[in-house]
Structure 1
Amino acid sequence: MLLPFLIVGGVGLVLLLISLVLGDIFDHFEVGDGAISGTALAVGLVVFGASGALTASGGLDVVWAYALSVVLAVVGYVLSVLVVRNLSRSSDGVPLSAVGLTGVARSDISTSGGEVSLDGPGEVERRIAYSDAFIAEGSRVRVVEHAGTRVKVTAD
């Protein structure tokens, strides 16, 4: 009675390990235009196996153990797909808008350029900056425009 759950959970665990070490296996094939995630599928299989083994060993009827396992596996799959998509979007190198952030001028800034360090989340490097008016090194600045990796700043 527990064996099917243990087999499915074990297959899911192996698939999850492969996805974590080698990357999502479905990324290498044109499967569903990204609609199927190997990592999320693996999580669903592990949740199915674990929840089925726990409910079946707890004395629940087999029908209810399968029903509960399927529901929990689908929930686990959907949540995993959402997390994987969110992580994929956040790691694609597209910078978040820096408009409104403040920082410090690390060099003199003019219309031709300069550098700033900003105080925002994820801002660990200097950015190329420019300004309509001269801003001296060490001055506090505020970002008013953001285009690619460059920011337009004003004295704060």
Structure 2
Amino acid sequence: MLLPFLVVGGLGLLLLVVSLVIGDVLDHFEMGDGLVSGTALGIGLTVFGAAGALTVGAGLDLVWAYVAAIVLAAAAYVASVLFVRSLARSSDGVPASAIGLTGVATASISSSGGEVSLDGPGELERRLAWADAPIAEGSRVRVIEHAGSRVKVVADHA
């Protein structure tokens, strides 16, 4: 009686680990605007197995084990889909404007390119940059234009 819950829970755990390690395995199906997610499905199946096993272990009838497992798995699935969708929206949002931010040139900057590290909220990585006049590595810079993830900078003499 316990075996079906253990098998489904184990498969859910495997799907969850695979989705977390190599990426969401169901991403390329694009069904229902993120309604089908390998991560969420893995969570739902794992909760189904755990809830069913715990209910059977508590000595309740098998029918209640399935009811509890289905209800809790559905709730976990919906909660995880909403959570994953919320995370995706926050990471796919329009980047905040970097105009006016200052930073340091981490590589020499010219009209063909360069790299900067900016001092702003959410600026954890380096950005590709360009400038009309050459700027030496280590110089302070200020952003005057923003194009996608690249920024146009000028030397900041402040």
Aligning the two structures, in what range does the TM-score lie when normalised by the shorter sequence?
0.5 to 0.7
User: Would you say the 8 A contact 1:12–1:43 is kept in 2?
Assistant: yes
Tell me which residue corresponds to 1:26. 26
Q: 1:68 to 1:30 in 2, by over 3 A?
A: same
Q: 1:95 to 1:107 in 2, by over 3 A?
A: farther
Tell me which residue corresponds to 2:36. 36
Q: 1:45 to 1:107 in 2, by over 3 A?
A: closer
**More off after superposition, 72-81 vs 135-144:** 135-144
**More off after superposition, 11-20 vs 47-56:** 11-20
Tell me which residue corresponds to 2:66. 66
Q: CA deviation at 1:116?
A: 2.7
User: Would you say the 8 A contact 2:127–2:151 is kept in 1?
Assistant: no
**More off after superposition, 68-77 vs 55-64:** 55-64
Tell me which residue corresponds to 1:96. 95
In the alignment, the residues of structure 2 paired with residue 58 and residue 23 of structure 1 have an alpha-carbon distance, to the nearest angstrom, of 36
Indicate the percent of aligned positions where both proteins have the same amino acid: 60
Q: 1:117 to 1:141 in 2, by over 3 A?
A: same
Q: CA deviation at 1:73?
A: 1.2
In the alignment, the residues of structure 2 paired with residue 74 and residue 46 of structure 1 have an alpha-carbon distance, to the nearest angstrom, of 11
TM-score by length of 1: 0.64
SS at match of 1:97: coil
Q: Deviations over 1:43-87 (max 9, x none)?
A: 101111112211321234544433332232123212332444435
Count of aligned positions? 152
Unaligned stretches of 5+ residues in structure 2: none
Tell me which residue corresponds to 1:125. 126
**More off after superposition, 43-52 vs 98-107:** 98-107
In the alignment, the residues of structure 1 paired with residue 27 and residue 101 of structure 2 have an alpha-carbon distance, to the nearest angstrom, of 36
Cα RMSD (Å): 3.9
